[in-house]
Amino acid sequence: MLKYDYHCHSTISDGTLTPSQLVLQAHHQKVKSLAITDHDDIGSWQEAKKTSENVGIYLISGVEISTTWHKKTIHILGYGFDPENQQFINNLADIRQLRNQRAIIIDQILREKGIVNAIQGAQKIAQRHEPLSRTHFARFLIMNGYCKNFAEAMNKFLADSILSEKVNKWVSINTAIDWINNAGGVAFLAHPLRYRFPPEFELIDLIKDFIKAGGDGIEVVYAKNSSRQIEYIADIARRYNLSASGGSDFHTDDNTMNGIEIGDIAPIPKNLRSLSQILEKTIN
């Protein structure tokens, strides 16, 4: 199987490489098939497409949409949509407005804890006014000595549980899937093993709702998940007839996050329908 990566981030969201640098890095790592999946934004497309044509990488359009399911943030990956679909572009811009509102609230919450100018600090790190990710705030907190590492920043200051009562909800899973489908794409459930559910819910409830909403596939291979973890999700994919994708969730090579290299992931397990197979079908 050719080297692939269907989940990574550029400076358009919370990555540290520009779209072009990201494609070049993927090429350097011998990745042949790539999707850039920025949070709620497909603004990398034109630049990334140009660079990928120059180096001979097959680029699939991608996005990672923030949704809310029973008060939990769930990420839905979209692939193979028309990146020039104006309605889709507008819909994603609406989600980024929610990000902008949330950034102001995060700034207030941090201020109450004695941490001032967090939004300005996060903006400087993102090198723009908006949109901001919690990642940018986490980097600000680490750089200014408020916490030691990314996990601590997320847990101590930026956790869903700290923000949930104060910030607006993202869109529903159904809405995100409809947006992706209406732009001609397919929807995949991102990193199923990263969610922590309250006692009344399990992963399987989410997967059933995702399928009911029209979801196509699941991220079977994720970052540094073990072969047992991969096989666990692969079994679910087979049982529920979901297609399979995989990605590193690469954000940066500066070692502040999970320290993974782009394309450094396991192949998609056998006896599964892969993302590339279903996209070929839609094109032909």
Residue ranges in contact with ligand AMP by CB under 6 A: 14, 39, 66, 133-135, 154, 251, 257-258
Q: Measured from the CB atom, is 27 or 251 closer to ligand AMP? A: 251
For the CB of residue 107, give the shortest distance to ligand AMP in the complex, in Å: 13
- Burial code (b: 16+ CB inside 10 Å, e: under 16) for 169-205 equals ebbebbbbbbbbbebebbbbbbbbeebeeeeeeeeee
Among 27, 75, 102, 139, binds Mn ion (CB under 5 A): 75
For the CB of residue 112, give the shortest distance to Mn ion in the complex, in Å: 25
Q: Identify the helix (H) or strand (E) that includes residue 67.
A: strand 62-69
66's contact among Mn ion, ligand AMP, none, with CB below 5 to 8 A by partner kind, is ligand AMP
- Long-range Cβ pairs for the range 207-210 (8 Å, 24+): 207/236, 207/240, 207/242, 209/69, 209/173, 210/76, 210/173, 210/177
C-alpha 247: how far from its chain's center? 10
Q: Which stretch binds Mn ion (CB under 5 A): 43-51, 86-94, 101-109, 241-249?
A: 241-249
Q: Measured from the CB atom, is 33 or 66 closer to Mn ion? A: 66
Nearest to 5 by CA among 33, 38, 43, 47: 33
Q: Measured from the CB atom, is 87 or 259 closer to Mn ion? A: 259
Q: Measured from the CB atom, is 167 or 242 closer to ligand AMP? A: 167
- 139 near Mn ion (CB under 5 A): no
Among 61, 249, 257, 263, binds Mn ion (CB under 5 A): 249
For the CB of residue 6, give the shortest distance to Mn ion in the complex, in Å: 11
- 219 near Mn ion (CB under 5 A): no
Q: Measured from the CB atom, is 64 or 107 closer to Mn ion? A: 64
Rg (CA), the chain: 18
Tell me the number of residues near Mn ion by CB under 5 A.
Answer: 5
Q: Peptide bond before 198: cis, by omega within 30 degrees of 0?
A: no
Biggest CA-to-CA distance, the chain: 58
Are the C-beta atoms of 64 and 89 separated by less than 8 Å?
A: no
- 14 near Mn ion (CB under 5 A): yes
The first and second tokens of residue 135, run together, are 């990642």
For the CB of residue 191, give the shortest distance to ligand AMP in the complex, in Å: 9
Q: Which stretch binds Mn ion (CB under 5 A): 48-56, 78-86, 182-190, 215-223?
A: 182-190
Q: Measured from the CB atom, is 37 or 276 closer to ligand AMP? A: 37
Nearest to 183 by CA among 95, 58, 284, 79: 79
Q: Identify the helix (H) or strand (E) that includes residue 35.
A: strand 33-35
Query: Which residues of this chain interact with Mn ion, rule CB under 5 A?
Result: 14, 64, 75, 190, 249
